[in-house]
Amino acid sequence: MPSVYLDNASTSFPKPACVPEAVYRYMTACGSNVSRGGYQAAYSAEELVFETRERVCALFHGEDARCVVFTPNITTSLNILLKGFLHPGDHVLVSSMEHNAVMRPLRQLEVTGVRFDRIPCRTDGTLVLDAMEGLVRENTKLVLCLHASNVCGTLLPIDAIGAFCHRHGLRFFLDSAQTAGVFPIDMQQSHIDAVAFTGHKSLMGPQGTGGIILREDLAGLLTPLLAGGTGSMSHTEFMPDFLPDRLEPGTMNLPGLAGLHVALAFLQETGLDIVRAHELALTKHFLDGLAPMQAENRIKIFGLPGIEGRAGVVSIQPVHQDPAEVAASLDERFGIATRVGLHCAPAAHQTLGTFPTGTIRFSFGFFNTKADADYALSALDTLTKEAPHGF
C-alpha cells in the first residue's frame, strides 16, 4: 500500500535531506553550547545561530538579526508575546479564526483582567475588515491574528490589518504558522510589530524550533515570560534588557537550529514563489477533483471556492458519514495521512459552521505530487460512495 502524507499543516514531512543531515552533523561534529564557552566549537555554534537569525530576519524583512528570538515553537512565541506585552485592563482584537495557541493564553490572561474581542469572519473564513473600527476601544493595545487558517486555509488581509493598526496606533502581532516560507511576509510593508513563527511546518525545519521577530522598540515593553541564564550579564541576577537575550534564557535547541539554518537556505535557493506555485497548483487540482463529489452531495468543502486567497489547506466533511471513520479508512485502507477533528481551533469551526463535528483536513507540502492528490481523490471518491455508517 502506498504511503501518502497530507498533513503538512500539522508538520511538514519529509524535510529536505539537508535538514536531518545538518542536525546529525551538529550533534556529531560540533555539539557545543553558545555564549557559554571560550573555544572554537562554541564560536562556530554561535556563528551558526547568528546566521540563522540573519536568515530569519531577511525572510520576514525584520529590522535587525538581534531582534530574532528563538523559542521551541510558535505556541511558546505567542505566550511570550501575549503574556509579556499585555497588562490587566488592556484590550486586544483577534480574528474569529484563531488557533488555541492564541486563544488559550488569552483565556488565561482574561482571568487577570485582560479583555478581548473577536473580529468576525464570514463562513468562508474571510475577515470582515469593516468591523474592526467599531471594536477598537480606548484601552485597545493590540491586534493579533493568524495569516492563514489552519482549518480551511483562508488568508487574512495582513496588509490592510497592518495599515489599520498603523492608523490607530495599535500594535500588530502575526501568527505565521501556516504561511511562513510559502507566502511573503514583510514586517515593514505590512506594519507588523512582531511575527511569531514555527520552524517545523512550511519552513521545513525540525520540530522544537520557532521564534519571534520583533521591532526593536518592543524589547523593553515585553516582560520576559521565563528568566534564567543567558551566558551574558552574568554579574546580575536580573534579565538583560537587550535582545535576543532578554527573551532567550536557557540552552536552546541547537541541533534543531542547525536544521533550521539549512532549511532556510533551501527555501531561499528554491524560492518562495516556486514553493507557493507548487503547493497551490496541487491544492487547485485537489479542489477541482473534489467538486463533483460536492455536486453529488457526498462531501462539503469549506473555505474559499478556489485557490485565490487560500493557502494549501483543504477541509471537507463527508455528508453521510462520520469524518473520523472516513479519515481512519483513508489511513488504514489507503495509507493516506490526514487530520480529522477540530484542529485546535474551536472558534474557527464555529465561524465555518463545522463545530462540533469538525472536518477532515488535507494539507499539501512542497514534496507532495499530483499523483498524491489524485490518489487521495480516488480514495475519497471510493469511501464516500460506500453505504453510510449510520451517521
- Site of interaction with ligand PLP (CB under 6 A): 10, 73-75, 99, 101, 146, 150, 175, 177-178, 198, 210
- Closest CB 370 distance from ligand PLP, rounded Å: 25
Query: Of 198 and 359, which CB lies nearer to ligand PLP in the complex structure?
Result: 198
Q: Give CA–CA dist 115/61, Å, rounded.
A: 31
Residue with cell 499543516: 9
- Closest to ligand PLP by CB, 108 vs 369, is 108
Spatial CB neighbours of 125, under 8 Å, sequence gap ≥ 6? 97, 149, 151, 152, 153, 154, 302, 303, 304, 348, 351, 352
Angstrom distances, CA of residue 297 to CA of 205, 301, 381: 39, 10, 12
Which is closer to ligand PLP, CB of 66 or CB of 205? 205
CB nearer to ligand PLP: give 155 or 287: 155
Q: Residue 147 Cβ, how far from ligand PLP at the closest point, in Å?
A: 8
With b for 16 or more beta-carbon neighbours within 10 A and e for fewer, the 29-45 pattern comes to ebebebbeeeeeebeeb
d(C-alpha 373, C-alpha 138), whole Å: 49
The three-point CA angle 24-26-30 to 5° equals 135
C-alpha cell at 174: 502575526
- Shortest distance (Å) from residue 208 CB to ligand PLP: 9
Shortest Å, Cβ 340 to ligand PLP: 14
Q: How far is the CB of 175 from ligand PLP (least distance, A)?
A: 5
In the complex, minimum distance from the CB of residue 104 to ligand PLP, in angstroms, rounded to a whole number: 11
What is residue 86's three-state secondary structure? coil
**Between residues 52 and 149, which has the closer beta carbon with respect to ligand PLP?**
149
Task: Give the residue at shortest CB distance from ligand PLP.
Answer: 150
We find the least distance from the C-beta atom of residue 90 to ligand PLP, in angstroms, to be: 21
Beta strands in 271-369 (DSSP E): 299-302, 313-318, 336-337, 339-341, 359-363
Q: Choose between 52 and 384: whose C-beta lies nearer to ligand PLP.
A: 52
Grid coordinates in use for 170?
495599535
The span from the CA of 185 to the CA of 198, in Å, is 14
Nearer to ligand PLP by Cβ, of 45 and 74: the residue is 74
Instruction: State whether residue 7 is helix, strand or coil.
Output: strand
How far is 253 from 70, CA to CA, in rounded Å?
Answer: 9
Q: Give the residue with the Cβ less far from ligand PLP, 101 or 287.
A: 101
Least Å from the CB of residue 166 to ligand PLP: 23
